[in-house]
Structure 1
Amino acid sequence: MTTTLADVLAAADLLAGVASRTPVESSRALSEIAGVPVLLKCENLQRAGSFKIRGAYVRMARLSDDERAHGVVAASAGNHAQGVALAARLLGIEAVVFMPVDAALPKIAATREYGAHVELVGSSVDEALVHARAYAQRTGAALIHPFDHPDVVAGQGTIALEIVEQVPDVATVIVPVGGGGLAAGIVATLAELRPQVRVVGVQAAKAAAYPASLAAGHPVKAPELRTMADGIAIGLPGEVPFEVLAHAHAEVRTVSEEDLSRALLLVAERAKLLVEPSGAAAVAALMAAPGDFEGPVVAILSGGNIDPQVLLRVVRHGLASAGRFLWLHLRIADSPGALAGLLRDLAATGANVMHVSHVRTQGELAVDEVAIEVQVETKGPDHCAAVQHALRVAGYRLTD
């Protein structure tokens, strides 16, 4: 492998006093779901809000004085940007970071607050990388790649050193995968330190390049990048991490957007931890196939930098996926009191009305009826079914 245990141990020495030793928290809720002990490695509590400071600092600490004088440049959707900006501040290096134009505002603001100059370009990390490479060629700045460098992979691998110390009997480690730097660091470390530990990588199904790449034996571009998990929305695996993961015959599976939102919601509700969608990917895989993993399982929460507006949308999506939001489409008589009667009947079921839409002008409506869309908050799937049954018994016509 391009990264060895010796490389990771050397990276750990560099990170002493820089990266936090993040806690491992047991989760009773996830343990009950999986049927085995489940623990959460809380890199969302790391400095700058994600694991990225580890790899970024190791890479930048090894630059020569001449390289440091020319500054550094990076491309990121946000977490690597903050890691690079913080590392640059600690090392006294000028940093420029290219970020997608739709990057989360809190991530942009935090990157600037750490002292980096931010340029917003393109619609993805891959496009931002093109601009970062061009800037590096133009100015002589060192490109600090988010995942495709041995020093970065070694830095991320220091998480595995901590896991082995904190959970000596760990049997499975589940790790989010974007470009692959984090997973490669974990795999390379455990391959020498605990070869019996199973490592499972997780990608968002709508931004998954690794399954096809590993099957083909070389990096293959993802067919789409349409996921709420912007932190792992990478179009093409890095050569360095791909070599590590391919050599180890790594296992990488995918999760849906519904899986991600349910996982984020559970982590917030039951573990009292705030993570971003990409940070919840490992938990999403566990929840989607709870019987697939031997315990103890350590799920890595890779980051907690989430835009509050995105959090609001994802929580709502998670509530709907968990059966706690219900969208009702009905037709009722266009007469005084009909809508009030519907709301009274809903109240009697214990459902909480969140939003009502009242439409008279749809072409398929009869002259004496109106279309109603009601969003209600429920207590779960069984309550959803009970609400619909009660409305049908009361004579309402539900359409889908």
Structure 2
Amino acid sequence: MTLTQETTLVTAADVSAAAARIAPFLRGTPLLPLPGERLWIKPENRQPTGSFKVRGAMNAVGLLAERGVEHVIAQSSGNHAQAVAYTAGRHGLRATVVLPDTAPELKVTGARRLGAEVVITPPALREVTCLALADRLGAALIHSDEFDVIAGHGGIGLEIAREATRPATILVPVCNGGLLAGVAVAAKSVDPAITVIGVEPELAADGAASFRSGHRTAWPVQQTYRTRADGLRAPVLGALAWEHIRRYVDNMLTVSEEGIAAAADLLWERLGERAEPSGAVATAAYLAHGANLPPGPVVAVLTGGNVSVPGEGTLGSAG
């Protein structure tokens, strides 16, 4: 998939429209200062279903419901699945989600509790299984980096840009890039001087490799699945997300597994915020690279908190 026309990209107007559409379903997430640091945390772990994913899913599912769709399907490592299940339930739609057999039980149980039919498959078969089921069931497929999902996620960038002292640096976890794409479009529309940086685990750094080379680069699933950050194991950036990233994102950073664990522990100990490993990588980037970031405030997006007990970011705990 190659996109070249500007008209195919999400705009600031698309993000604003999505933000207004989904506002009644969201919880407010303020910027939380980390004492003694220039770091602020955007706690999207406080959203319904425990992650930012509800923003994009609510926008996409809501628009499909308006068009008369009755059944939606998605494949996910866990949080997108829960978000699709939750939003489908709010709109009275049937939901099917495909999860890898490595997904944390908390996320599998959560999707079922929210009313979705859950299909478990080996990680490498997630996409093909989902496509086959969508065709057989006649369900509308919701990709986690499709246009309406990116537009929904962009509200995070709008909120940060309007609340933070500008110019700021925003650190954003990266899986297939849908969140980073939305945040970058929205934040740059408010103030082009804002620096937007994507963050990945060193063990799943296909996005960073893409950014450095200028070409979308895939990593084998067996490599990306080495990281404990289960929500960031996608082997390649989404094609649409990549088009936004290469235009609007300023840099990509990577963090170690030890750094992710330390960041999750710090968020719990200093702020009382649960962070799953995937949700802690932006804070980990500040801890590892803060001295090299631009002057001024830094905002790290805490994308999710779906862990069964505080401290699950620590090495040696279940991932």
* TM-score, scaled to structure 1: 0.73
Report which stretch shifted further, 232-241 or 157-166.
157-166
Q: Segments of 4+ in structure 1 off by > 4 A? A: 64-67
1:144 to 142, 145, 154: 142
Equivalent AA in structure 1 for residue 301 of structure 2: I
Aligned residues: 306
Q: Where does residue 267 of structure 2 map in the other structure? A: 267
2:296 paired with 1:295: yes
2:111 paired with 1:104: no
The 2-side partners of 1:248 and 1:164 are apart by: 15
The 1-side partners of 2:84 and 2:32 are apart by: 27
2:282 paired with 1:282: yes
- SS where residue 63 of structure 1 aligns? helix
2:12 paired with 1:14: no
- SS where residue 77 of structure 2 aligns? coil
Identical positions, percent = 38
Which structure 2 segments of 5+ residues have no match?
Answer: 1-5
The 2-side partners of 1:156 and 1:200 are apart by: 16
Following superposition of structure 1 onto structure 2, how do residues 191-340 of structure 1 map, counting pairs within 5 Å? 191-223=188-220, 224-225=223-224, 226-293=226-293, 294-308=295-309, 314-317=313-316
- 1:172-195 CA-to-partner distances (Å, cap 9, x unmatched) read 000101100000001111222111
The 2-side partners of 1:168 and 1:222 are apart by: 37
Q: Where does residue 184 of structure 1 map in the other structure? A: 181
Equivalent AA in structure 1 for residue 245 of structure 2: L
The 2-side partners of 1:207 and 1:24 are apart by: 28
Report which stretch shifted further, 12-21 or 180-189.
12-21
Answer yes or no: is the 8 Å Cα contact 1:172–1:298 preserved in 2.
yes
Distance 1:94 1:7, change over 3 A: same
Answer yes or no: is the 8 Å Cα contact 2:167–2:191 preserved in 1.
no
Q: Where does residue 62 of structure 1 map in the other structure? A: 63
* TM-score, scaled to structure 2: 0.91
- 1:297-331 CA-to-partner distances (Å, cap 9, x unmatched) read 111100000244xx66642559xxxxxxxxxxxxx
- SS where residue 172 of structure 2 aligns? strand
- 1:128-180 CA-to-partner distances (Å, cap 9, x unmatched) read 12211111122221111112x11110100001111123224351000101100
Equivalent AA in structure 1 for residue 131 of structure 2: R
Answer yes or no: is the 8 Å Cα contact 2:162–2:190 preserved in 1.
no
Please, what is the CA RMSD of the aligned residues?
A: 1.7
Answer yes or no: is the 8 Å Cα contact 1:176–1:202 preserved in 2.
yes
Q: Where does residue 157 of structure 1 map in the other structure? A: 154
Answer yes or no: is the 8 Å Cα contact 1:105–1:307 preserved in 2.
no
Answer yes or no: is the 8 Å Cα contact 1:170–1:297 preserved in 2.
no
The 1-side partners of 2:79 and 2:139 are apart by: 20
Q: Where does residue 43 of structure 2 map in the other structure? A: 42
- SS where residue 103 of structure 1 aligns? coil
Equivalent AA in structure 1 for residue 78 of structure 2: G
